[in-house]
Amino acid sequence: MSAWQFSYYNAKVAATVDAWPVGILASFQRIARAMLEHGPDLGMPHTRAMGGGLFEIRAKGREGIGRAFYCTVTGHRIVILHAFTKKTEQTPQRELETARARLKDVTP
C-alpha cells in the first residue's frame, strides 16, 4: 500500500482529467502511479515545481499535452488543483492563476 494518496480539488477537476484523450490520460495515470509509489516529486520530464508549493504533472500523448497542477498537504495527500489541455508552448497565465487561487484554499 502506498504512503501517498490522490484527491481532486473538486468534481469538475476530476471530470476534466477523466475527459482527456486516451493517450494523455494514460500518461497521466502512469505518472500518478509513480508518484504514489515514489512520492510527488518525480522531477522532469514528469513533474515540475512551479514555485510557492505548486507543482505540475506533465502528461503527454499522441493527441497533445495535458497539465495538472497539484500541491501536497498534511497526511501525504496529493491534491490535483486544476487541469487543462495545453494548446500553446507556454502555460497560459489564466490557468496558472486558477491553480494558485485554489492552492490558497487548500493550504494553511
Cα(63)–Cα(11) distance, integer angstroms: 24
Q: Which pLDDT belongs to residue 2?
A: 64
The residue extents of the domains of the chain are 5-106
Mind listing the pLDDT tens digit for each residue in 41-89?
899 999 999 999 999 999 999 999 999 999 998 778 999 999 999 888 8
CATH of domain 5-106: 3.30.2310.20
- pLDDT score, position 61: 94
Q: What is the mean pLDDT of the chain?
A: 92
Closest by Cα among 58, 59, 55, 64 to 99: 55
Q: What is the pLDDT of residue 107?
A: 82
Is the pTM higher than 0.85?
yes
* pLDDT tens, residue by residue, 90-102: 888 999 999 999 9
